[in-house]
Structure 1
C-alpha cells in the first residue's frame, strides 16, 4: 500500500498542503501519515520556567495541527496516522519518512516559524531520497 507523509505546522500553507496530501492519498488509496514537529531549537525540555509553558503550548499546538488534518480527512476514504515529535524539523520529517517508508512527502511552501520553518521544504527537498511536493499557497 502507498504511503504519503504530510509535514504540517498549522499555517495556511500547511492547510493547503493538507488538502493536496488528502487528495493524493485518496487517489492512490494510500495511508496518510501526518507529522508536526516541535522545533527543539525554540522549544526544548526546560526545567520549570516560563519556557516550559511555551513548550507545553507548542506541544498542544502540534497535537491540534495533527488532529485538524485527521478531521479534514475523515470525510474521505483516507486512513490517517498522526504523530508529534521534538527535534529539528527537516531531520525529523526525513527520519519519519524513512520509518513509514513514505512514497512522497508533502509540505507547504512556507510555515509559521519563519526563521526556522521557512527553509524546511528546501532542506527536505535537497536531502530526501523520495519524491517531495512543495505546495504553494495559491495552489488550487
Structure 2
C-alpha cells in the first residue's frame, strides 16, 4: 500500500485534483493524505486586527476544505488523513510529502490565490523527489 498526497486550497482546480487523487488512491490501494496550507505570506499572526479575522477565516477555510475532501474519499472507501498547517505552501507540502513518504503528490493547475498557487505547483514539480500530477482545468 502506497501513499498519495493531495495539496488543496478549496478552489475549483483543487476539487478536480481531489477527484483525481481519490481515483488514483483507489487504483493504487493507497492512503490519501490531504493538506491545506494557510499561506503565511498572506495570513501571518497579527494581533487583534482585521488581518487577524482574515487569518481566522483562512484557517476555517482550510479545515473545511480538508474535511470536504476527507468525506469524498471516505465515500469511495479510500483511507484518508487530513491536516492543515501554516507556512510557505511549497515548503510545507514538500515536507509533508516526505513525512508521509508520499509516492505521488497531486495538485491543481491553479488555485484560489493563483499568483501564489501556480508558483507553488511549479516549485513542487521542480523539487519533489516523487511523482507529481498536476490536474488541469479540463480534467
TM category, shorter: over 0.9
| In structure 1, C-alpha distance between the alignment counterparts of 2:133 and 2:115, rounded to whole Å | 21
Q: Hey, what's the Cα distance between the residues in 1 that align with 2:11 and 2:130?
A: 24
Corresponding residue for residue 87 of structure 2: 87
**TM-score calculated relative to the size of structure 2:** 0.98
- Equivalences for residues 71-110 of structure 1 within 5 A: 71-110=71-110
* 2:20 matches 1:10: no
The count of corresponding residues between Structure 1 and Structure 2 is 139
SS of the equivalent of 2:5 reads strand
Unaligned runs of 5+ in 2: none
Aligned-residue Cα RMSD (Å) equals: 0.7
Match of 1:38 in 2: 38
- Flag as ranges the 4+ runs of structure 1 deviating above 4 A: none
TM-score computed with the length of structure 1 as normaliser: 0.97
Q: Deviations over 1:57-83 (max 9, x none)?
A: 000000010001011112112011000
**CA displacement at 1:115 relative to structure 2:** 2.0
Q: Determine helix, strand or coil for the equivalent of 1:24.
A: helix
